[in-house]
Amino acid sequence: MNERDIALREGEQNAAEAAYFGARSYNDTEDRMRVFGAGFQRGWDAAVAAERERCAKVREALAASQSWLYGHINVEGQAERRRLNEEVLTT
């Protein structure tokens, strides 16, 4: 994780802690905050991993569709070239 990612996670964690413990001041202990922070980081890491996997699948699907499209265009282009060549040869 780079500095930007760490700062983003810490900022989101601070906001989540403030919201959670602000509504539950009776739970605002160092031990509970440490548990909350550990759970937040595990959840954040899992969400980042899931998002990376989703993005990889989208990239794979995009590459496959582009490959099909380029192949399809190439086949149509070759057929048109053959047709034009035949037209030129017969005239």
Q: For residue 78, is pLDDT > 70?
A: yes
Secondary structure class of 91 (helix, strand, coil): coil
Q: Which residue has the tokens 């490959």?
A: 67
Return the minimum-mean-pLDDT range out of 4-8, 17-21, 75-79.
Answer: 75-79
How far apart are the C-alpha atoms of 6 and 8, rounded to whole Å? Answer: 5
At position 79, the amino acid (one-letter code) is: A
Compute the average pLDDT of residues 4-8: 92
Task: Using pLDDT thresholds of 50, 70 and 90, give the confidence band for residue 71.
Answer: low
Average pLDDT, the chain: 85
Contact between 33 and 49 (Cβ < 8 Å): no
Per-residue tokens: 7? 């700062």
Tell me the DSSP string of 39-62.
Answer: HHHHHHHHHHHHHHHHHHHHHHHH
Q: Which residue ranges make up each domain of the chain?
A: 3-90
